[in-house]
Structure 1
């Protein structure tokens, strides 16, 4: 989402700390953070590597050839730096937050629905981007955003990004949808075969729809909802619930559901559509007329890391054109570094994922952790934070 068309209000560490204090004991992650702890300062230089690096990341972000001998960007990093990688995948942002709070991991790939919680909890630290040679080349609209920057301090290296698009079975859904109305107001038409992303952050999808169709609610940002606005989104999702066949968090399982006909319309990632199409399932995707939510991941450094030199080396390496191209193509996303587009095996990869397409990017509202200090600029009301969204999501699903 380009800051030229969607204004974000700066977040303060104090505001984010409120999130830490109010989210304890929910599914957003265990372990009570110290909201009063001073923010750690970023490193001023990168020294010699410590010889090892523990990485927590989405599956497909850290490949060493063990899953596919032809897919390996970790080995080159290990040979170049001497930092031997130990990798643990996670399945959801909530799981990532919980695991990072153990202090056992040096770096994490955090989506916007996790990053502010990690910052608030003191689980990650500011990053000196001047030490990262590839940072300058990253798309500008991924930098200095509320999901990776607080009090003008950067907390990581932007990674890949993408939209949460609408996918439908082209042979079973007629007419072809153009709006998220297909999964909300018109969900009854495909009752039992509608699918939705299984996370509290999905509330933002409902908020985005209401923002466009019920302007009287005053929603200006789908991640900045006061209590009345949240209640409206919850009501819409409760109405949708009776028509949802399954909620998904594993995109491969979602693809299987579309293949069997168990699901025929719902939100997905572009990589899901690519897999489905490759398998012969007749699906199409669109960016609906209302726009869409989306995700921009950030590589962040654990505040308790004992291997910070290796951590910095990884952040710089993973954003290099060569590595970023491999990750983006394997995972199915737009790379953060536009130079990667020249190195993908599929010459059309960046076109497929709309890399560098500012008009497309301007329609995406990237996942941002909801906080009490309204990020739409309102000061006369308190917004609902992620803990309240988590409670609401449990209520929605029943």
Structure 2
């Protein structure tokens, strides 16, 4: 029986097919990846025939989480008690694998065996529906991209985390731990609300000559360009404005004044007719491999995938770029807090993180996970290059409460402007 050992393996095969003559429909490998609204380019394998959750107990004695409207999150526990028997986890596909797509890809079973807590997985039906699902579906723990994480913190729908109960937390580099899942002023300054899990940053890849290209080339150069389909792609255009319109004074690309937001959207609109917007990782790969895209804004690991498939691609030197971190968070009042804490600890360990990185092609938060096939992933994201990582502007959900005086545009404005742009 043929088996994909990882999503990356499937993608290499798909790209090799594209080099020979790319005619397969997007997503035909069975591998889907969301474009974060920090999103960002993230990878998450799709299993169309897989069940939506791990089979688990739901009878008497099983705690049932609820969608909490409380403005008073539960206080952080001082110590853990006995597990409740089960927990509900909300995550993008590929972030918590139980063997439904490939029996060899399973880091949930080990947790269940060790903790005695059965995991009930819940996946959004489509990547863009993660935030909506988090509003209506009960859960204990959630793998939240920056746009979702920021809202949960601002609306007090996330519980602060006692990291002393997490044995692997100190294995996460300090710079990652110091990144907060919400914008300054949204309430996350003095508490820990998220445990970093998978992260990445954007690169601009081209099949042509990189001489003379820079961050603004995505929006100024003629030819087909593919960009991540999400409102936070506006931040990339804002970074480019530093080159094209320095008088605007863009600082944090995720904290834009109305004038700066107008200018970033106008830059995106200049060559709108030549732009396509990707939601699945296979799309920019097919575009670059098959010649449909001259430039692609995507994750750096794709350059490695394309090279392994025999396609020459080069990275444009952006100077600065945007990135994101997906965090594991707790519901404001989890029904199964003891199992939820055990899950956060397990998923931060090197073994689970290594498997997640190999499967998704995203960087693990735990540096000890950079072994085996995950070492190639870590290298692609320059995980130990602290000089480069200082140039990555990691996403937070845009908020009006920026700086000392506020006055920035919030995420709802970004969503509206992005929808109008893409629809136009």
SS at match of 2:136: coil
Q: 1:134 aligns with which of 161, 168, 171?
A: 168
Query: Is residue 2:259 matched to residue 1:225?
Result: no
Q: Which residue of 2 aligns with 1:43?
A: 77
Query: Is residue 2:361 matched to residue 1:336?
Result: no
Q: Which residue of 1 aligns with 2:119?
A: 85
* Distance in structure 2 (CA, Å) of the matches to 1:48 and 1:33: 23
Q: Residue deviations 1:197-237, cap 9 Å, x none?
A: 11111110111111344221011110111111111111111
Change (3 A) 1:59 1:276: farther
Q: Which residue of 2 aligns with 1:282?
A: 312
Q: In 2, are the aligned partners of 1:273 and 1:283 still within 8 Å (CA)?
A: yes
Q: Which residue of 2 aligns with 1:200?
A: 231
Alpha-carbon RMSD across the aligned residues, in angstroms, is 2.3
Q: Which residue of 1 aligns with 2:193?
A: 155
SS at match of 1:46: coil
* Distance in structure 1 (CA, Å) of the matches to 2:304 and 2:331: 33
Q: Which residue of 1 aligns with 2:293?
A: 263
* Distance in structure 1 (CA, Å) of the matches to 2:93 and 2:212: 31
Q: What is the CA-CA distance between 1:92 and the residue it aligns to?
A: 6.6
TM superposition score normalised by structure 2:
0.77
Query: Is residue 2:135 matched to residue 1:101?
Result: yes
List alignment gaps of at least 5 residues for structure 2: 1-66
Q: In 2, are the aligned partners of 1:212 and 1:290 still within 8 Å (CA)?
A: no
Q: In 1, are the aligned partners of 2:157 and 2:332 still within 8 Å (CA)?
A: yes
Q: Which residue of 1 aligns with 2:387?
A: 359
Q: In 2, are the aligned partners of 1:106 and 1:311 still within 8 Å (CA)?
A: yes
Q: Which residue of 1 aligns with 2:34?
A: none
List alignment gaps of at least 5 residues for structure 1: 1-31
Q: Residue deviations 1:114-161, cap 9 Å, x none?
A: 211122233322111111111112111112323257141111211122
Change (3 A) 1:201 1:175: closer
Change (3 A) 1:346 1:129: closer
Is the deviation greater in 61-70 or in 386-395?
61-70
Q: In 2, are the aligned partners of 1:165 and 1:292 still within 8 Å (CA)?
A: yes
Q: 2:219 aligns with which of 172, 175, 184?
A: 184
Q: In 2, are the aligned partners of 1:101 and 1:123 still within 8 Å (CA)?
A: no
Q: In 1, are the aligned partners of 2:202 and 2:321 still within 8 Å (CA)?
A: yes
* Distance in structure 1 (CA, Å) of the matches to 2:75 and 2:87: 20
Is the deviation greater in 363-372 or in 39-48?
39-48
* Distance in structure 2 (CA, Å) of the matches to 1:88 and 1:276: 32
Q: In 2, are the aligned partners of 1:100 and 1:123 still within 8 Å (CA)?
A: no
Q: What is the CA-CA distance between 1:91 and the residue it aligns to?
A: 7.1
Q: In 1, are the aligned partners of 2:216 and 2:244 still within 8 Å (CA)?
A: no
Q: In 2, are the aligned partners of 1:144 and 1:152 still within 8 Å (CA)?
A: no
* Distance in structure 2 (CA, Å) of the matches to 1:221 and 1:334: 23
Q: In 2, are the aligned partners of 1:301 and 1:311 still within 8 Å (CA)?
A: yes
Q: How many residues align?
A: 353
Q: Residue deviations 1:341-383, cap 9 Å, x none?
A: 2x33454442232112101211111111000011xx241x510
Change (3 A) 1:95 1:350: same
Q: Which residue of 2 aligns with 1:387?
A: 412
Q: In 2, are the aligned partners of 1:104 and 1:304 still within 8 Å (CA)?
A: no
* Distance in structure 2 (CA, Å) of the matches to 1:276 and 1:90: 29
Is the deviation greater in 194-203 or in 40-49?
40-49
* Distance in structure 2 (CA, Å) of the matches to 1:33 and 1:347: 40
* Distance in structure 2 (CA, Å) of the matches to 1:180 and 1:118: 32
Q: What is the CA-CA distance between 1:393 and the residue it aligns to?
A: 0.8
Q: Residue deviations 1:265-294, cap 9 Å, x none?
A: 1211134334434444433334x3331111
Change (3 A) 1:57 1:176: farther
Q: In 2, are the aligned partners of 1:103 and 1:303 still within 8 Å (CA)?
A: no
Q: Which residue of 1 aligns with 2:242?
A: 211
Is the deviation greater in 93-102 or in 313-322?
93-102
